[in-house]
Amino acid sequence: MSLSPHHAPPRPRARSHRFRAASAPLLAVALIAGTAGAAAPPAAAASPSAPPVAVPPAPGDTGRQRYATLDRLARNLVEAGAPGVVVRVADGRGRPVEIVRQAPWAARDRRLAATDEFRMGSNTKTLMAALVLLLEAEGALSLSDPVERWLPGEVPGGASITLRMLLDHTSGLYDYTRDPALIPSILGKDDRRWTSRDLLALGVRHAPLFPPGTRWSYSNTGYAAVGALLERVTGASPAELVRDRIARPLGLEHTYFATDGRWRGRHAHGYEPDAAHMPDAVPEEFRDVAGARRGTHVDVSANDPGWGGAAGAVVSTARDWARFTSALLSGALLPAAQMTELRRTVPMDPERPQGPGAGPGIETGDTPCGTVWAHDGGMTGYSSLNAADRAGSRSAVVLVPTEFRFEFAADPELMAAHEALVTAAVCAMHGRPVPGAASVHAGAALGSGDGFGA
């Protein structure tokens, strides 16, 4: 299942193989100047599924222009082949912008709405890291604890791997989503109920990539271990912890850890091309996805996301996630000491020590429009990108109900349209216009990872 060297340093702007349990930190928030400012093709084929919400700009502000750019680029993404897209941007000054665009064929199947529940993939890791930090604040554990203390005998070399290394991807553990045994679950053809320990065992049966703490490499196995140790420390399941320690206290009514393929509310339908229409770049073993046929696509909404586990099984909405991000980054959820831990990062690329950094369940980097703290996610049928400023007062969410064409870098046109939209969303979040092509170097991205990201 290894499509590229998982331990290679992140490559600016490259789409990573990310859907495996959620999403490798591709945060190719890839703010390549000019992409968002390019001329747009006609948008007649894009069908709005909900009226956009316009934000009245302040006097002399370019808010209207930024909104128009977001709307145009959302239409472009659909024109490029996305089934739909939900964009939510809050610049900290007034009512957030919410834009929904959808391909006509997908709208006939199920109308997409800004409030739809969505499989958040690897954004789950931010929730899991928050839970660990909350437990640390209560004295139940420490980020410096060796994994062996909590999971004796379950992780080879666990005496040298700390909880922090699990959270910031410096453990060296092989990514379980690269194991071929998981492919049937990824495709929706295996209803096996994977536990955290099952997924952990799948990962550690492979040799580690490097000695603990010596490098950075995205690993869903680290978060499978986090799920297992959360159960050990608290006696509660990740689903119960998300409900009781995060969702209920913050009033997140549509955020939960999925324990099967069922949804709790109105939800976005996710799609992948059927086998006959899957792009050639998608490997043969991933071309036949299970689900209900919808023309040239397959509806994967009912597929069980359990293979994502503590690395990628959470469901949420654009609004809920923005609220969670605000609480997390503002310090409303965590004490000051844990906020310091949250913001302590390691370089994702050893050749760029001042470049993109990874912390506990979150990544940070500079973009042409400002610094972001973010994560993204990929799950069969669902791609998501969540970004915010350091204080959590500004946020951007981009949700696209498809994944494989991103995962395998199989559709350059779709990828370019997505990068343009994310660029514009992050710039709008910061209250700035999208830079022109001449003002930004093509390498100014947050970075990317390798491996299906749960």
Let me know: does 146 contact 159? Beta carbons within 8 Å: yes
CA–CA dist 366, 176 (Å, integer): 30
426 Cβ neighbours under 8 A, 6+ residues apart: 29, 31, 367, 369, 370, 372, 387, 396
The mean pLDDT value of the chain amounts to 85
pLDDT at 436: 59
Closest among 364, 373, 366, 367 to 346, alpha carbons compared: 364
Mean pLDDT of 339-351: 95
Whether residue 449 is predicted with pLDDT greater than 50 in this model: the reply is: no
Q: How many CB atoms lie within 10 A of CB 262?
A: 9
CA–CA dist 1, 292 (Å, integer): 25
Q: Two tokens at 249?
A: 């206290």
The continuous run of DSSP H or E covering 164 comes out as helix 163-168
CA–CA dist 412, 391 (Å, integer): 34
The continuous run of DSSP H or E covering 251 comes out as none
pLDDT at 65: 80
CA–CA dist 404, 297 (Å, integer): 12
CA–CA dist 191, 178 (Å, integer): 19
Alpha helices in 13-156 (DSSP H): 63-79, 104-109, 124-137, 147-150
Domains, the chain, with CATH or none: 47-122+253-439 (3.40.710.10)
SS3 for 145?
A: coil
Give pLDDT tens digits for 226-243.
999 999 999 999 999 999
Give pLDDT tens digits for 299-338.
999 999 999 999 999 999 999 999 999 999 999 999 999 9
Ranking 170-184, 262-276, 439-453 by mean pLDDT, the lowest is 439-453
- In this structure, the strands spanning 256-257 and 314-316 are antiparallel
Give pLDDT tens digits for 382-406.
999 999 999 999 999 999 999 999 9
**Percent helix, strand, coil in the chain (nearest 5)?**
35, 15, 50
Give pLDDT tens digits for 274-297.
999 999 999 999 999 999 999 999
Residue 133 vs residue 40, higher pLDDT: 133
Q: Two tokens at 229?
A: 């140790």
Q: How many CB atoms lie within 10 A of CB 89?
A: 28
Instruction: Write the DSSP string, 311-374.
Output: HH-EEE-HHHHHHHHHHHHHTSSS-HHHHHHHT--EESSTT-TTS-EEETTEEEEEETTEEEEE
Highest mean pLDDT pick, 14-18, 393-397, 442-446: 393-397
pLDDT at 67: 86
CA–CA dist 155, 225 (Å, integer): 8
- Helix 124-137 with 318-330: angle, nearest 10 deg: 30
Let me know: does 444 contact 55? Beta carbons within 8 Å: no
Q: What does DSSP assign to residue 400?
A: E
Let me know: does 171 contact 222? Beta carbons within 8 Å: yes
Ranking 4-8, 201-205, 223-227 by mean pLDDT, the lowest is 4-8
Q: How many CB atoms lie within 10 A of CB 375?
A: 30
Instruction: Write the DSSP string, 93-125.
Output: SSSPEEEEEE-HHHHHH----TT-BEE-GGGHH
pLDDT at 36: 28
